[in-house]
A and B are shown apart, each in its own frame.
Chain A
Amino acid sequence: MNRYRTDKFARGLIYTIVGAIIALIAIFIGYLLVQGWSTISWSFLTTASDDGLGIRDQLFNSLYLLILTLLLSFPIALGSAIALTIYGKKSRFAAIAEMAIQALSSLPSIIIGLFGFLLLVLKFKIGFSVLSGAIALTFFNLPILTQSISLAIATVPEARMTAGVSLGVSKWHTITKVILPEAMPGMISGIVLSAGRVFGEAAALIYTAGQSAPKLDYFNWNIFDANSFLNPLRPAETLAVHIWKVNTEGLGANAEAISKGTIVILILTILAFNLLARQLSRRLQRKIYH
Chain B
Amino acid sequence: MYDTAETYLNFPDLTNALTTKDLTVKYDDTLALHPCSAVFPKNRITALIGPSGSGKSTFLRCLNRMNDEVATIGGQIVFDDTNINDRKLNVYQLRQQIGMLFQQPNPFARSIRFNLSFGLLEHQKISNQDLQQRMKQVLSMVDLWNELDGDLERNALQLSGGQQQRLCLARTLMSMPQVLLLDEPASALDPISTAKIEANLLELKQNYTIIIVTHNLEQAARISDYTAFFYDGQLMEFDATAQLFIKPHLAMTDDYLSGNFG
Query: A-side interface residues toward B, CB under 8 Å?
Result: 157, 159-160, 162-170, 173, 177-178, 181-182, 288-290
Contact = CB atoms under 8 A, between A and B. Distances in A.
A257 to B, nearest CB: 52
Interface centre among B108, B171, B175 (most CB of A within 10 A): B108
A290 B155 contact: yes
B92 A168 contact: yes
A224 B99 CA distance: 58
B109 A289 contact: yes
B157 interface: yes
B66 A165 contact: yes
B169 interface: no
B172 interface: yes
Q: Which bucket holds chain B's interface residue count?
A: 20 to 34
A163 B95 contact: no
Contacts of A159: 102, 104, 106
Contacts of B110: 178, 181, 288
A114 B96 CA distance: 56
17 contacts: A160-B108, A162-B66, A163-B102, A163-B107, A164-B118, A166-B100, A167-B119, A168-B96, A168-B123, A178-B108, A178-B110, A178-B118, A181-B110, A182-B108, A288-B109, A288-B110, A289-B155
Interface of B: 64, 66, 91-96, 99-100, 102, 104, 106-110, 118-119, 122-123, 155, 157, 168, 171-172, 175
A162 B93 contact: no
Given A289-B155, A289-B157, A290-B155, A167 B106 contact: no
Nearest to B123: A168
B155 A168 contact: no
Contacts, number: 67
Nearest to B96: A168
B106 A169 contact: no
Nearest to B61: A166
A167 B172 contact: yes
Given A159-B102, A168-B96, A182-B109, 11 more contacts: A160-B106, A160-B109, A162-B102, A163-B102, A163-B106, A164-B118, A167-B122, A168-B93, A169-B119, A288-B109, A288-B110
Contacts of A181: 110
Contacts of A289: 109, 155, 157
A160 B175 CA distance: 18
Q: By DSSP majority rule, is chain A's interface helix, strand, loop, or mixed?
A: helix
Contacts of A166: 64, 66, 95, 99-100, 102, 172
A178 B108 CA distance: 7
Contact of B92 (A160, A163, A169, A182): A169
Contacts of A160: 106, 108-109
A159 B104 CA distance: 8
B96 to A, nearest CB: 4
B92 A170 contact: yes
B80 to A, nearest CB: 15
A177 B110 CA distance: 11
A159 B96 CA distance: 18
A170 B66 CA distance: 12
A177 B118 contact: yes
Nearest to A160: B108
B205 to A, nearest CB: 20
Contact of B118 (A162, A169, A288, A290): A169
A169 B108 CA distance: 13
A157 B99 CA distance: 20
Nearest to A181: B110
Contacts of A168: 91-96, 119, 122-123, 175
A290 B104 CA distance: 22
A168 B107 CA distance: 15
Nearest to A156: B109
Given A168-B94, A168-B96, A290-B155, A162 B109 contact: no
A170 B155 CA distance: 23
Contacts of A169: 92, 118-119, 122
A90 to B, nearest CB: 11
Nearest to A159: B106
A169 B124 CA distance: 12
